[in-house]
Amino acid sequence: GESVGLHLPTLSVQEGDNSIINCAYSNSASDYFIWYKQESGKGPQFIIDIRSNMDKRQGQRVTVLLNKTVKHLSLQIAATQPGDSAVYFCAENTGPGGGATNKLIFGTGTLLAVQP
Amino acid sequence: EPEVTQTPSHQVTQMGQEVILRCVPISNHLYFYWYRQILGQKVEFLVSFYNNEISEKSEIFDDQFSVERPDGSNFTLKIRSTKLEDSAMYFCASSSLEKLFFGSGTQLSVL
């Protein structure tokens, strides 16, 4: 069946270090992936997305890598800051696209704890 | 920056009562969604809505659930007869295409 899972439920890093959060997905037909950040008591906040025709995409301090061969997704956060502490979810869009059939399947989440 | 707003932020209800959760999506978005998150679990898809009709729903979204866009700005989720297991954080989301933007959620507690 379809599933998106995370390898590490908790990641603790020192402030200033780089963080890498990993995610495995099982639906090889998924063509769009998103990383969300969720702070306590808030909704998922969009961080970065990537399409299946790309291997890498960079944003501000964040990079998403997609390895379709092994169905693996990762989020890299450069120079991690205390404000980055949150739960990070990967999500795959299992619908055929175009908006109306968007159906995001979320992973279980990784808690990123940034130590000062 | 435009955002999805949800009201109320917390809702406490008795089992068997009806609840309506309200959302104001981002104004130029055409696609609307409800997701929920039971404490400590993943965010789960409930329903998507486009062009005034449901485009897809999950098996969670049974006959007790309904959605409505009563005017040009609001998008509601109604649970007709709440059960204890409906206790969760309910998130509304909207999108113009595939990038979904989520509200801060309504924490529903069924007693």
- How do residues B55-97 score in pLDDT, each as one tens digit? 999 999 999 999 999 887 899 999 999 999 999 999 999 998 8
B86: helix, strand or coil: helix
Q: Using beta carbons and an 8 Å cutoff, which residues of B are at the interface with A? A: 4, 30-31, 33, 35, 41-45, 48, 50-51, 55-56, 91, 93, 95-105
Pick the CATH number of B1-10+30-96 from 3.40.50.1820, 2.40.128.90, 3.20.20.120, 2.60.40.10: 2.60.40.10
B27-49, pLDDT tens digit by residue? 989 999 999 999 878 899 999 99
Domain A1-80: top CATH class: mainly beta
Chain A nearest CA to B15, separation (Å): 24
**Who contacts B46 (Cβ-Cβ below 8 Å, separation ≥6)?**
B33, B34, B35, B36, B57, B58, B60, B61, B65, B77, B90
Return the exposure string of A88-103: e unless at least 16 CB atoms fall within 10 Å of the residue's CB, then b. bbbbbbbbeeebbbbb
A82: three-class secondary structure by DSSP: helix
* Residue A101 near chain B (CB below 8 Å): yes
Residue B56 to residue A95, Cβ atoms within 8 A: yes
Maximum Cα–Cα distance across chain A: 43
**Residue B2: helix, strand or coil by DSSP?**
coil
